[in-house]
Amino acid sequence: MSWANSSSRNTQSRETVIRLTVAVENIAEKLDQLHQDMKTDRVEIYTRLNNCETRITSLEARPD
């Protein structure tokens, strides 16, 4: 009986490790996607900020 219990526990442990590994891989993939989205957003934000800065500079340079 103890061999059967040990075998069952090993199987359960193996399945648990597999589930956790898959979960960690999924989380890592989602983090990679989030990081890529953040990089894209950052480029867009800095482009807009640069445009605003250019406009402000040109407005400030105008004589009153």
Q: What is the pLDDT of residues 32-60, one digit of tens each?
A: 999 999 999 999 999 999 999 999 999 99
| Residue 1 confidence (pLDDT) | 54
> How many domains does the chain fold into?
1
Range of the domain at 22: 1-64
| DSSP annotation string for 15-61 | HHHHHHHHHHHHHHHHHHHHHHHHHHHHHHHHHHHHHHHHHHHHHHH
| Residue 5 confidence (pLDDT) | 77
Nearest-angstrom CA–CA distance, 26 and 38: 18
pLDDT above 80 for 2: no
| Residue 13 confidence (pLDDT) | 94
pLDDT above 80 for 3: no
